[in-house]
Structure 1
Amino acid sequence: MASTRAHHVGVTVADLEGAVEFYRDVLGLDVLDRFTVSGEAFASAVGVEGATGEFVHLDADGARIELIEYEPEGEERTVPSVNQPGATHVGLAVSDLDGFHKSLPDGVGTLSEPRTTDTGSRILFVRDPEDNLVELIEA
């Protein structure tokens, strides 16, 4: 069996530029690359007839976050909750969770104030502009 290693975490969005602004300007990630993928091989690989994907890769201190906007766009989904089967979130480390929380622009939704778990980790969940969950952790 071939060995595997992490390459990226993908987040599908409806408004790529709005998502890039959030991940770049609010979360402080650097844009690494922008590109478009289309054609029959891509459409077949993702299982979406006639698909085209607009991609932006961002650097999260060595971890790659991949934002994708598809054409045709899929159906809307319910607002995700962390306890839903299949729920996903992006996890990012911060050195000062309280400072990060205080610096959030108005309108950025959070699930709560920063909390300390029974393991001693401090966490805060925020929602990106499309309600995707992002966990900030001060371990």
Structure 2
Amino acid sequence: MHRPGSLVPKPPRPAAPRVNHVGFSVRCLESSIRLWCECFGATLVRQGEMSGSFLSHVTGAPDTNVKMAIVEIDGFPVELLEYALEAEAPRSGGYRQGVAHLAFDVDDIEVTLGSVSLHGWQAQGEVQTLPAVEKKGTKVMYIVGPDGCVVELMQPPERSLE
């Protein structure tokens, strides 16, 4: 019970995040790669495809396939994502064409989710762990704020002390 003059305990505050990358949902991956590389001097780092329920859980997008590419400008990664959605699929959240998201590395994704929810941000699915890529073991989740801003939370796997 809260008594007048006593301090109300605050929920745990997450450690400050570190910027990981910025991502853009694009209409055509190939033309976007050309733009970023030919006009902005970016270097294509890698490209591939993702699909399945894992992707739906992370982004909130209905079951979909995504063509993706990572380009780098001055050492900073930019993620380009072309979602293949059914015509009747809702176009809300981080998978709408033209939407950008900023990705943060966080120390504890669950604490961060709890903290941001107090400010009206909502998870777009469930926390997922990357199974097999260069970031294997990283926990990921998209969140959307009350104003429509999209953030990707990424909790890198714990490092063993060797």
TM-score w.r.t. length of structure 2: 0.44
Please list, as runs of the form range in 1=range in 2, the aligned pairs for 1:1-139 lying within 5 A after superposition.
1-72=14-85, 75=91
Instruction: Find the aligned partners of 1:88 and 1:43 in 2 and give their Cα distance.
Output: 17
List per-residue Cα deviations over 1:51-106 (Å, max 9, x = no partner): 2211110111111111100011665xxxx8xxxxxx869xxxxxxxxxxxxxxxxx
Instruction: Find the aligned partners of 2:51 and 2:81 in 1 and give their Cα distance.
Output: 12
Where structure 1 has 5 or more consecutive residues not aligned to the other structure, the ranges are 81-86, 90-139
Instruction: Find the aligned partners of 1:60 and 1:18 in 2 and give their Cα distance.
Output: 17
Query: Are the aligned partners of 2:22 and 2:100 in contact in 1 as well (CA < 8 Å)?
Result: no
Where structure 2 has 5 or more consecutive residues not aligned to the other structure, the ranges are 1-13, 92-97, 102-162
Computing the radius of gyration from Cα coordinates, the structure with the larger value is 2
Instruction: Find the aligned partners of 1:53 and 1:3 in 2 and give their Cα distance.
Output: 30
* Bigger relative CO (Cα 8 Å, ≥ 6 apart): 2
Matched letter for residue 54 of structure 1:
K
Report the CA distance shift for 1:2/1:40 in structure 2 as closer, same or farther (over 3 A): farther
Q: Report how far residue 2 of structure 1 moved.
A: 4.9
Matched letter for residue 5 of structure 1:
R
TM-score w.r.t. length of structure 1: 0.50
Identity %: 25
Query: Are the aligned partners of 1:40 and 1:50 in contact in 2 as well (CA < 8 Å)?
Result: yes
Instruction: Find the aligned partners of 1:44 and 1:18 in 2 and give their Cα distance.
Output: 28
Instruction: Find the aligned partners of 2:100 and 2:59 in 1 and give their Cα distance.
Output: 18
Query: Are the aligned partners of 1:43 and 1:52 in contact in 2 as well (CA < 8 Å)?
Result: no
How much is the aligned-residue C-alpha RMSD, in angstroms? 2.9
Runs of 4+ in structure 1 over 3 Å off: none
Aligned length: 81
Query: Are the aligned partners of 2:47 and 2:69 in contact in 1 as well (CA < 8 Å)?
Result: yes
Q: Report how far residue 4 of structure 1 moved.
A: 2.3
